[in-house]
Structure 1
Amino acid sequence: MSWSEKGRQLKQRLKRIDWYLSLGLLFLLSVLATFAWGGIKLHELLNDADALPIEAVAIKGERKFTTDEEIQTALQSLMQSSFFNADIVDVQHALEDLPWVYKVSVRREWPAKFKVTLQEQQAVAHWNEEAWLNIHGEVFDALAQAELIDLPKLSGPDDMAEAVLTSFIQLDELLTINGFKLASLRLSPRHAWQAELANGIKIELGREDKMTRIQRFINAYPTLVNSDKTVAKVDLRYDTGFAVGWDETNKRTENK
């Protein structure tokens, strides 16, 4: 076979290869276009609230102060979304922004339902007159509730809220087993403790040894009530004694 014949055959093979390559490339492009078109349509479907609407939202958890109206308002944006494109984190945050809500978990349930588990704040005390403390010693703001009016009144710097609650529990436990009830506890900006009993007696505890000092008050109280005067205030900021403020005379007597 001559060189010219070999050259013609090689050119024919190269043309066939180019043809096969073009067909293959065209097929690949058509497949990619089909996938792209399908992806666009799927995205449109998943984000179409009319095509895949959220049919129900189930709310679980005990509620006392969080109303259905508040929840419905918080979920307005959710109900305008489709089942798939609704942002669970946004829903969770919207509900946790409600005043009496502490924690929320949200999950999808096929085919068109959301399950919301809601945990309300458990208030254990008033805080600085306008806010509340929950069981974790965290400050939160919410409207007053009549049934919580008798909760103890605590106050102090916000960053000391947990410490104030812990001290209240310790002092109240000691007082309760001795027949008293602690109504309020305050930590001043200078970190001095001031307490008030349910019977109206105010107690100055100072900065240190508040448990020892409250025990000193408990031990001395039987002597104080034997007086014909009413105790208004007891100052325990002494190493070994205390001072008493009497209701009727406003005089203070030293007891050492």
Structure 2
Amino acid sequence: MVSVMRDYRHGQQPQRPAATLKEPPKASRAAPVKAAPAKVHKPLPWKLYGRVLVGSLGISLLAWGGWTGWQWLRQPSLMPINTLTITGSSTRIPLAEINGVLKPYAAQGFLWANPEQIRQSLDHLPWVADAEVRKVWPDRLQVSIKPYTPVARWLGGAGQMVDAQGQIFSVPPAQVPNGLPNLAGPAQSGSQLLVQLAKFNAIVAPLGLKIISLEEDQGGGWRCILSNQVRLLLGSEDVIPALKRWVTIVPQVKEYLVPGATMDLRYTNGFAVAMPSATPVNSQ
């Protein structure tokens, strides 16, 4: 109180304490922004474009020229086949059938006719066992046909026969020759059947007979039919000795050698006879 009065006495206003001044807030420091670089316009590489264009045109011209040349080479008139030499044709393999196979290949010209394709097509003809095809420069095609020679009829299917090597082949049923012996057996047994047929024929030949049908069953048993229509059951063991023994005995019982009779040779010391429509008769 004394201090205030003193100030009024001297005509002075009482002094107030000075206000504390606050510093203005510092502005926040933002990250500096980089200015975008100015675009630089590069000149177009016209020389490079020109080279690419010229190269593309050159490749196109080469491709077109190659295609044109290829088409020119493929023309049959460039190197035609003027001469066909064919050997091996017969009544079973008519020349007209062979020419029918060769015609489309010959039309391709000498350069493009494929001998292997021609050979495969000829092999599909009936009676053709093998074919050899050669091109002889500059315009000749030589064809040699090897026909099948049938020695027996195979009973595994219509039109099937066996050649001398035991190979089974097929022809139209109407073209199967008459007078061939019949063979039947497991698949791929043609050669074995032919061997047995020859052995059996040699054994029964002294009787003036031959085998007209021979069969081997799945168990290895043999049966056959003779030219006098007598049927023989041979079994699977000691077949040759049994047949030889029968040949020595059967002349003594010729009355049993009648068509349709069945003789069972699967006995050690003789055979059994089954006459047509009669009871079996044992022969010792």
TM-score range normalised by the length of the shorter chain: 0.7 to 0.9
| Conserved 8 A contact 2:228-2:258 | no
1:72 is paired with a residue whose SS is helix
Aligned partners of 1:173, 1:38: CA distance in 2, in Å?
A: 74
Determine which structure has the larger helix proportion and give its number. Answer: 1
Change (3 A) 1:241 1:42: farther
- Deviation at 1:40? 6.7
* Aligned: 1:117 with 2:148: no
Quote the residue 1:94 is aligned against: 121
Q: Aligned partner of 2:76: which letter? A: A
- Deviation at 1:165? 1.4
- Deviation at 1:151? 0.7
Higher relative contact order (CA 8 A, sep 6+): 1
Change (3 A) 1:135 1:80: same
Give the TM-score of the pair, scaled to structure 2: 0.70
Quote the residue 1:200 is aligned against: 229
| CA displacement, residues 24-47 of structure 1 (integer Å, 9 cap, x when unaligned) | xxxxxx9xxxx9999877754543
| Conserved 8 A contact 2:148-2:163 | yes
Change (3 A) 1:105 1:246: same
Quote the residue 1:51 is aligned against: 78
| Conserved 8 A contact 1:91-1:106 | yes
Quote the residue 1:142 is aligned against: 171
| Conserved 8 A contact 2:256-2:273 | no
Quote the residue 1:216 is aligned against: 245
| Conserved 8 A contact 1:139-1:158 | no
- Deviation at 1:80? 2.4
Quote the residue 1:108 is aligned against: 135
Structure 1: gaps spanning 5 or more residues:
1-29
* Aligned: 1:252 with 2:280: yes
Q: Aligned partner of 2:98: which letter? A: I
- Tell me the number of residue pairs that the alignment of Structure 1 and Structure 2 aligns: 224
Quote the residue 2:220 is aligned against: 191
- Deviation at 1:240? 2.4
Bigger shift: 97-106 or 77-86?
77-86
Quote the residue 2:53 is aligned against: none
1:239 is paired with a residue whose SS is coil
1:148 is paired with a residue whose SS is coil
| Conserved 8 A contact 1:53-1:82 | yes
| Conserved 8 A contact 1:185-1:194 | yes
Give the TM-score of the pair, scaled to structure 1: 0.78
| CA displacement, residues 191-211 of structure 1 (integer Å, 9 cap, x when unaligned) | 211100011000001112221
Change (3 A) 1:39 1:112: farther
1:82 is paired with a residue whose SS is coil
Q: Residues 27-176 of structure 1 correspond to what in structure 2 (within 5 A)? A: 43-61=70-88, 63-128=90-155, 130=158, 131-144=160-173, 148-176=177-205
| CA displacement, residues 194-231 of structure 1 (integer Å, 9 cap, x when unaligned) | 10001100000111222112112211111111x37836
Name the larger-Rg structure.
2
Q: Alignment RMSD, CA only?
A: 2.7
- Deviation at 1:90? 0.5
Aligned partners of 2:177, 2:104: CA distance in 1, in Å?
A: 33
Aligned partners of 2:98, 2:196: CA distance in 1, in Å?
A: 36
| CA displacement, residues 61-82 of structure 1 (integer Å, 9 cap, x when unaligned) | 2523012232122223312211
- Deviation at 1:48? 1.7
| Conserved 8 A contact 1:193-1:207 | yes
Change (3 A) 1:94 1:209: same
Quote the residue 2:264 is aligned against: 235
Q: Aligned partner of 2:262: which letter? A: K
Which segments of structure 1 move beyond 3 Å, counting only runs of 4 or more? 35-46, 144-147, 227-231
Aligned partners of 2:100, 2:206: CA distance in 1, in Å?
A: 47
